[in-house]
Amino acid sequence: MDTRRLLRTTAITLATVGLLASGCTGESSSPQVSGGSSGASAPPAGASPALEPYYTQKLKWRACGVPGFECATMKAPLDYADPTGETIDLAVARKKATGPGKRLGSLLVNPGGPGGSAIGYLQAYAGIGYPAPVRAQYDMVAIDPRGVARSEPVECLTGKEMDTYTQTDQTPDDTAEQKRLAAAYKKFAAGCKKRSGKVLPHVSTVEAARDMDVLRAVLGDEKLSYVGASYGTFLGATYAELFPDRAGRLVLDGAMDPALAAREVNRDQTAGFETAFRSFAADCIKQPDCPLGNKSVADASTRLKDFFKKLDEKPVPAGGGRVLGESLATTGVFTAMYDESLWPQLREALNSAQAGDGAPLLAMADTYFERESDGSYANLMYANAAVNCLDLPPAFTAPDGVQSAVKEFEKASPVFGRSFAWASLNCGYWPVPATGKAHRIEAKGADPIVVVGTTRDPATPYKWAQSLAEQLSSGTLLTYDGDGHTAYGRGSDCIDTAINTFLLEGKPPADGKRC
């Protein structure tokens, strides 16, 4: 069972992130914020003077986990409407610019999610894998957003409860199964409220963007330089909307469309995964080991649907006392849609499952859910729901609404439509009302912003990048004609050169440039 709108960077990168132990632990909470950082700027015009201690706090950097990286804990108001009230501890990490060349300040990175650990991403990839000229001139920096990973993480279920949750039938065939699915969503939401009730109302994207501005000031940067992937594009666009005069060189890769309501987001993403699957199927039927036959894409689609139906009726053993049912198999399949390098692994996993061994496909689903071998889970799925359900009103509030929309979703994707429609119900039972709403983001007055879209991106359909680039008053669209989720650092010299030039020289690519 997936959580609504889980927008990820590549499966390979986040699998690494999920397994990485950074050793970056938080310090004890304190209502006091010490000042004194040089180069920090004042709070935004019109903001409460009580925010000034946050903007002028001095971070205490220390070695953590991975050689070459430093960690610190930054204080922020739990509630920006009450900056003299409780605080929240936010984990920050950096790797200083390696030189040579002029230092350009800090480059903040975020891998998406919502719920992906930015610190894990920095230490596993961005801080060591971004192009050398970028790392030479920028301090590479990450902050785990509030409620995520090391920043007072949202918690909801035990490992065993999460195992049960992910196995719940997500394509209910009758009223009884619909009630069981709704009960699973209710239990998930109740667990979040019980374990994380204090932080749950304060993990919105707007609040995370405000935290980014505090960090920018504390680091001594006049403007924010930023690379955000997937959901990170919404976070970056929100920052530009709130602080257009402080938005510097922003790259939004695998863009979301902030103007879409939750139902539209889920339906478009359903279509995106269908596009990605058809690309996989077109490649698969050419391979001698294709588990979906060698006839046509349409036939492959039918075979996969039949396979899911069989698993719905009778799951197959997957080792360790676990079984592979339809929901987990569906998750395993669409996990591979994030990166075409996973296609051979998916073919092998589907062949194994059809032969009665569900372990390989289950392992792919476990990677998606960030389930560890000891049965514990990272907080990705919990934070994902908490942020999504706060940012937008729910797509559906009851099973009847989903049932009436199933055909619409199945039209978008014959393979995934039914599952994705029912997954869209999870925010319908959320214990905290949404504080955000769909709207256009123009960010008038911001410096040029580069929006990157991949034509066959499953999680963030290409048309979303087109829409965001059009909305932003200074948006520039950069297109990658290819497969997989996001484009920067995934093998296209054309894309990488255009983004590197922008980050290092401030020169955006020509609007509409295609790679």
Q: What single-letter amino acid sits at 262?
A: A
pLDDT interval class at 44 (50, 70, 90): confident
What is the average pLDDT across 281-292? Answer: 98
Catalytic choice (447, 457, 483, 496): 457
What is the average pLDDT across 178-192? Answer: 98
Reported in sequence order, the residue ranges of 354-504 that DSSP labels E, i.e. its strands, are 449-456, 475-483
Q: 374 an active-site residue? A: no
Spatial CB neighbours of 91, under 8 Å, sequence gap ≥ 6: 24, 26, 71, 72, 73, 74, 119, 143, 144, 149, 150, 151
Q: 230 an active-site residue? A: yes
The reported pLDDT for the residue numbered 28 is 32
Question: Where is average pLDDT lowest: 10-19, 227-236, 358-367, 391-400?
Answer: 10-19
Instruction: Read off the pLDDT of residues 385-398 as tens digits, 9 standing for 90 and up.
Output: 999 999 999 999 99
Joined tokens for residue 190:
């109740």
pLDDT interval class at 11 (50, 70, 90): very low
What is the average pLDDT across 140-156? Answer: 98
Alpha carbons 191 and 385: distance in angstroms, whole number: 12
**Other residues' Cβ atoms within 10 Å of the Cβ of residue 322:** 17
The reported pLDDT for the residue numbered 501 is 98
Question: Is the confidence at residue 18, as pLDDT, over 90?
Answer: no
Between residues 3 and 64, which one has the greater pLDDT? 64
**Other residues' Cβ atoms within 10 Å of the Cβ of residue 344:** 14
Alpha carbons 409 and 416: distance in angstroms, whole number: 8
Joined tokens for residue 54:
């946050």
pLDDT interval class at 17 (50, 70, 90): very low
Question: Is the confidence at residue 6, as pLDDT, over 50?
Answer: no
**Mean pLDDT (the chain, rounded):** 92
Cβ distance 127 to 78 under 8 Å?
no
Question: Is the confidence at residue 37, as pLDDT, over 50?
Answer: no
Cβ distance 197 to 139 under 8 Å?
no
What is the average pLDDT across 489-498? Answer: 96
For residue 252, what are the β-bridge partners?
A: 228, 451
Element at 105 (helix H, strand E): strand 105-110
Cβ distance 117 to 357 under 8 Å?
no
Between residues 451 and 13, which one has the greater pLDDT? 451
Instruction: Read off the pLDDT of residues 82-129 as tens digits, 9 standing for 90 and up.
Output: 999 999 999 999 999 988 888 999 999 999 999 999 999 999 999 999
pLDDT interval class at 70 (50, 70, 90): very high
- The alpha carbon torsion through 120, 387, 32, 210 (nearest 10 deg) reads 90
The reported pLDDT for the residue numbered 29 is 33
Catalytic choice (230, 413, 424, 467): 230
Q: What are phi and psi of 269, to 5 degrees?
A: -70, -35
Question: Is the confidence at residue 165, as pLDDT, over 60?
Answer: yes
Joined tokens for residue 287:
């391979």
The reported pLDDT for the residue numbered 100 is 86
Alpha carbons 439 and 399: distance in angstroms, whole number: 26
Residue 350 zone, left/alpha/beta (φ > 0; ψ -120 to 50; rest): alpha
Catalytic choice (204, 301, 467, 485): 485
Q: Which residue has the tokens 């922008």?
A: 502
For residue 479, what are the β-bridge partners?
A: 453, 514
Question: Is the confidence at residue 421, as pLDDT, over 80?
Answer: yes
Question: Is the confidence at residue 35, as pLDDT, over 60?
Answer: no
Q: 492 an active-site residue? A: no
pTM score: 0.93
Q: List the Cα angle 331/337/339 in 5-degree steps.
A: 125
What is the average pLDDT across 184-196? Answer: 98
The reported pLDDT for the residue numbered 16 is 31
Domain boundaries along the sequence of the chain: 159-198+260-369+395-429
Joined tokens for residue 163:
């195992």
Instruction: Read off the pLDDT of residues 317-368 as tens digits, 9 standing for 90 and up.
Output: 999 999 999 999 999 999 999 999 999 999 999 999 999 999 999 999 999 9
Burial 126-146 (b: 16+ CB within 10 A, else e): bbeebeeebbbbbbbbbbbbb
